[in-house]
Structure 1
Amino acid sequence: MIDIEKHLSLFGGCYRSRRVMVTGHTGFKGSWLTLWLSRLGAQVIGYAMPPETEPNHWDLLRLNDCESIFADIRDVDRLKQVFTEHRPEIVFHLAAQPLVRRSYREPQETFSSNVIGTLNVMDAAKASESVRAIVCVTSDKVYENCESEAGYIESDRLGGSDPYSASKACAEILVNCYRKSYFNASQTEPQPFLATVRAGNVIGGGDWSEDRLIPDAVRAASSGTTLGIRNPASIRPWQHVLEPLAGYLAVGQRLLLADPTAATAWNFGPDEEGSVPVSEVVPHFQKTWPALVAEFAPEAGAPAETNVLRLDSSKAIDRLGWRPLWDWQTAVARTASWYQRFYESEEIATLSDLLDYEQQAIKAKVSWAAS
């Protein structure tokens, strides 16, 4: 176990006593990020819609020291009011409609949340006198997909054939527009440094979203039903939620240090061995939680899904000193164990997972955990 001072010194101690805004703090990644920022000593202001699922990770964490504001990211007047009242120094923008299959059913909702919502955050930050840095979270699905075995790099062409992917690619274009038109060194007044971050398939405890493999597996294992696997051959870059969050925080650190080279796009994915098919992930989940029963169940008329998706994170490894610490087997085992402990003993293992991850980072001497 690391002591408090060592804990607060992670990421150069840059989040200690810092006013940090997290949009989408009630979501899966947002709730993990809010916990981590709170442990790093930040004064966190959360802005999001109330959690959609029951149970949900946000309510389970009971982060009473976070200023939690329930509001729609598309309400620009309310958003600007919150920026004015709370004066955040850095913004992590995660609020979004994050589900691919739902985006087919609700394209207007998806585009308005993911594009107009992002536009509102940019405008609120532009009007703010306090914001110094913005980290905008998009997706690994922003790339024009050609089913390539090679990992996508940050300069690859953007695209998106489904509404979710297209909306996130639009958000990337929007952010780049604001970076070049408003948030640049040629302005007479100091402007925020702005980056986008793109992560692969993220797993971990506390996700009960619809139409995702691990939450579907959890629902099946906990209820004694059978998990139907739609696409067992689909290859995804599997990683624990703490991996990209460490990258997001490392980017935020560099932006707060006014490093212009960090104000760009960043990939955060597992190493090459971490991109594996669904048919390998499910049996590994079952090793930890044998209650899961699964079978191949193709879905007639299902919306199209990408077969192969890989990210190249060389840029983050080379320039940020970030690197993945838990392989995909560890990520799956940790995730299955989190849910098994929750359903069998009502134990929330989020903090213990976080502390174990930090301890491994210190031992591995990754840059964000260095003294």
Structure 2
Amino acid sequence: MPKETAARTPRNPVFYNRVRKTLILFFHLLVASFSLLLAFSLRYDLQIPTELWPSILEMLPVVLLLKLVVFRTMGMADGWWRYVSIPDLLQILKANVVASFGVVLYAVFIREMNNLPRSVIILDFLVCFMTMIGVRVLVRILREQRRQLTKSYRRKKKSVLVVGSGIVAQTIVREMRENPKMLKAVLGFIDRDQGRKGKVFNGIPVLGTLDDMAKICGKNDIDLIIVAESSVQPKELRNIVAFCKENKIESKILPAMGDIISGQVSLQHCREVRLEDLLGRPPIRLDVEEINNYLHGKRVLVTGAAGSIGSEICRQVAQFGPGNLVMFENAETPLFHLENELREKFPGLSLIPSLSDIRDQTRVSQVFKKHRPQVVFHAAAYKHVPMSEINPVQVVKNNVLGTRNIIDASFDIGAEHFVLISTDKAVNPTNIMGTTKRVAEMYAQSLPRNGSTKATTVRFGNVLGSHGSVIPIFREQILKGGPVTVTHPEITRFFMTIPEAVQLVLQAGCMGYGGEIFLLDMGEPVKIIRLAEEMIRLSGRRPYEDIEITFTGLRAGEKLFEELLIDGEGIKPTVHEKIRVLEATSSSCGLVKEETELLFEAIRRGDQVELIRLLKNMVPEFHTTQNLVHSESKPGEGTGKGINLSN
């Protein structure tokens, strides 16, 4: 066989494993023999009395057999010495304690060797234990040193600085040492804790704090900075990324521990820093047990199931093992893709794709009566503000009529929980979309609270990366080379990630008693101009130099900043530190139903003028300086006209 072919031929794993275990067996024989003889020798100052040799030779075979059985039973022949760790050392300690206890039983109680010094047993235990540990650690050290002399390690390695020095950071360091293909060498740690400066972990020093990063990188040729510290604040992370961009240093981050399967950390989980890392907040703490209690084994229905929020609700609900999951969606292709995704990830889950429209009352009633969901998440809605301004009739029909259909069906079949997904645009709305969401909130709040269905509302801000949101638009504009368009230099919005928003929805679903509006502690609002600048920097370009940012002016129905509270709504804490509950304004059930009936009558007539007037009556805080053009009026009616609703 040619040499090259032979080199590529894989070794027989079964044969190799047998050889390895045989060698370990002989090693244990040698160690057990050596430790017993050395124990006697040390006890008698390296001169064992002649009269003890018969007892030693009689005892030796039994001790060897006893230790070999114990070592094999307790897994000493398994595992790889090159990866020896603290748990392995503890197992070796346990095995030697058991073996030494067996030697004592044999020597004292079975053979009644009263002339055997007790110190010999202790010395035998110590020598055997230390030898087994020492050899394994030596093998690991020699193997790691040999790797550094191989051809791959003689090539230039990337010099790495790790932000953080905790367990996660130390695990990353160990993986770099053990993987010869990574070509990375950790220069040191930097930590937010000043008290750790100067300490050494796994042979790697803590060189300083985040304030020392520029000085450390200036003195050393750093190629890569890995953020392995979950407590790094978004502002600090932005500074790290900006510093890396400026100095042409690669930067990566480890996701939150909850995002890593089984809590294990690996360098494979390192990824580029994303916008949500720079704008995000500490992860939301979930009461998993409480969520599990109201979702596990239950029949769950999600409207708008294939949308940004709806699909994430489906993914997270599926993890809690519902009895079945009805995906209520009117977009065929997205529903098809979502079903395939969930069937692959959760093969044992009962999935029911329902191609349905929330505006079709008959279809809604049929689906609810057939599947009788116990938990309903209503995420279906028209959400784009400019589009809603042009098509108010369809938006009212979907966001108000559709919501009423879903809520009524939930109450009719006695669902346990109903959760309405709302928006901060429902607060003092200046557009049709926000106004319709406020009407939907009012309808949910007006329903009786003494029935079997608990109807609650979750109100939150913009979601990073949702369909049609500013993030995908900016990303596409950057890929085209710009310009990036922002409506106004002072415009701000509250932001959260999709998983963060859905976690709030799931938690709030089991907290309400009916009629509440739950609100996430969304922190400080973010300037859209800052968001655009960060996205340009993350793409490796410079704002205003490589990519221009232009201002286009506020669009119809758009306001500079969003609000969280309506006049009359107070805010109270809940048992969850990130969720607040609003002392919502109450509405008469009969009055709200009567007013919504008038809305639907205006929809049936196609009377947009009356529709807008009714919305204004229902939501007095609805205020806009825009003229709403009757784009949906009948031909020849209202063309070019508008209703000025400014106060």
Under a length normalisation based on structure 1, what TM-score does the superposition of the two structures give? 0.68
TM-fit CA distance, 1:47? 0.6
CA–CA separation in structure 2 for the residues paired with 1:294 and 1:40: 45
Partner SS for 2:301? strand
TM-fit CA distance, 1:298? 3.2
1:62 equivalenced with 2:318 (yes/no) = no
Letter aligned with residue 374 of structure 2: E
Alignment correspondent of 1:199: 460
Alignment correspondent of 2:536: 286
Letter aligned with residue 176 of structure 1: Q
Alignment correspondent of 1:139: 423
CA–CA separation in structure 2 for the residues paired with 1:61 and 1:237: 33
Whether the aligned pair in 2 keeps the contact of 1:31 and 1:57 (CA below 8 Å) is no
CA–CA separation in structure 2 for the residues paired with 1:245 and 1:107: 28
Partner SS for 1:254? coil
TM-fit CA distance, 1:243? 2.0
**Unmatched 5+ residue regions in structure 2?**
1-259, 264-285, 344-348, 580-647
Distance 1:225 1:52, change over 3 A: farther
Q: Please give the root-mean-square deviation of Cα atoms over the aligned residues, in Å.
A: 3.0
Distance 1:265 1:33, change over 3 A: same
Distance 1:49 1:191, change over 3 A: same
Q: For 1:72-221, what aligned pairs fall within 5 Å after superposition? A: 72-129=357-414, 131-144=415-428, 160-178=429-447, 183-185=448-450, 190-204=451-465, 207-209=466-468, 212-221=469-478
Letter aligned with residue 548 of structure 2: E
TM-fit CA distance, 1:242? 2.0
CA–CA separation in structure 1 for the residues paired with 2:464 and 2:333: 18
CA–CA separation in structure 1 for the residues paired with 2:292 and 2:327: 21
CA–CA separation in structure 1 for the residues paired with 2:571 and 2:300: 26
Distance 1:296 1:280, change over 3 A: same
TM-fit CA distance, 1:16? 1.7
TM-fit CA distance, 1:223? 4.6
Whether the aligned pair in 2 keeps the contact of 1:103 and 1:110 (CA below 8 Å) is yes
Letter aligned with residue 195 of structure 1: T
Q: For 1:41-60, what aligned pairs fall within 5 Å after superposition? A: 41-42=321-322, 43-50=324-331, 59=338
CA–CA separation in structure 1 for the residues paired with 2:500 and 2:336: 18
CA-to-partner distance for each residue in 1:163-212, whole Å, 9 max, x for gaps? Answer: 1011111111111222xxxx322xxxx420111111011114xx332xx3
TM-fit CA distance, 1:314? 9.7
Whether the aligned pair in 1 keeps the contact of 2:458 and 2:517 (CA below 8 Å) is yes
Letter aligned with residue 49 of structure 1: N
CA-to-partner distance for each residue in 1:208-235, whole Å, 9 max, x for gaps? Answer: 32xx311201222445553222223201
Under a length normalisation based on structure 2, what TM-score does the superposition of the two structures give? 0.41
CA–CA separation in structure 2 for the residues paired with 1:300 and 1:252: 38
CA–CA separation in structure 2 for the residues paired with 1:213 and 1:254: 32
1:296 equivalenced with 2:561 (yes/no) = no
Alignment correspondent of 1:16: 296
Distance 1:40 1:117, change over 3 A: same
CA–CA separation in structure 2 for the residues paired with 1:67 and 1:239: 29
Distance 1:301 1:30, change over 3 A: closer
TM-fit CA distance, 1:248? 1.1
Whether the aligned pair in 2 keeps the contact of 1:27 and 1:51 (CA below 8 Å) is no
Whether the aligned pair in 2 keeps the contact of 1:196 and 1:265 (CA below 8 Å) is yes
Letter aligned with residue 392 of structure 2: P
Letter aligned with residue 311 of structure 1: L
Alignment correspondent of 2:583: none
Distance 1:29 1:165, change over 3 A: same
Letter aligned with residue 271 of structure 1: G
Alignment correspondent of 2:487: 230
Letter aligned with residue 326 of structure 2: I
CA–CA separation in structure 1 for the residues paired with 2:337 and 2:456: 26
Whether the aligned pair in 1 keeps the contact of 2:444 and 2:515 (CA below 8 Å) is no
User: Aligned to 1:38, which of 312, 318, 338?
Assistant: 318
CA–CA separation in structure 1 for the residues paired with 2:517 and 2:554: 35
Whether the aligned pair in 1 keeps the contact of 2:301 and 2:326 (CA below 8 Å) is yes
Distance 1:37 1:8, change over 3 A: farther
Whether the aligned pair in 2 keeps the contact of 1:229 and 1:298 (CA below 8 Å) is yes
CA–CA separation in structure 2 for the residues paired with 1:139 and 1:173: 13
Whether the aligned pair in 2 keeps the contact of 1:140 and 1:267 (CA below 8 Å) is no
TM-fit CA distance, 1:253? 1.8
TM-fit CA distance, 1:300? 6.2
CA–CA separation in structure 2 for the residues paired with 1:229 and 1:57: 35
Letter aligned with residue 194 of structure 1: A
CA–CA separation in structure 2 for the residues paired with 1:294 and 1:76: 49
Letter aligned with residue 527 of structure 2: P
Aligned-pair identity (%): 22
Alignment correspondent of 1:265: 517
Higher mean C-alpha deviation, range 109-118 or range 35-44: 35-44
Letter aligned with residue 426 of structure 2: V
User: Aligned to 1:251, which of 504, 508, 512?
Assistant: 508
TM-fit CA distance, 1:142? 1.1
Q: For 1:316-335, what aligned pairs fall within 5 Å after superposition? A: 318-323=573-578
CA–CA separation in structure 2 for the residues paired with 1:285 and 1:301: 21
Letter aligned with residue 299 of structure 1: T
CA–CA separation in structure 2 for the residues paired with 1:143 and 1:73: 24
TM-fit CA distance, 1:59? 4.4
Whether the aligned pair in 1 keeps the contact of 2:483 and 2:550 (CA below 8 Å) is no
CA–CA separation in structure 1 for the residues paired with 2:518 and 2:528: 25
CA–CA separation in structure 2 for the residues paired with 1:88 and 1:21: 6
Letter aligned with residue 363 of structure 2: R
TM-fit CA distance, 1:239? 1.3
Distance 1:193 1:294, change over 3 A: farther
CA–CA separation in structure 1 for the residues paired with 2:548 and 2:360: 43
Whether the aligned pair in 2 keeps the contact of 1:268 and 1:311 (CA below 8 Å) is no
Distance 1:107 1:58, change over 3 A: farther
Letter aligned with residue 254 of structure 1: M
Distance 1:60 1:203, change over 3 A: farther
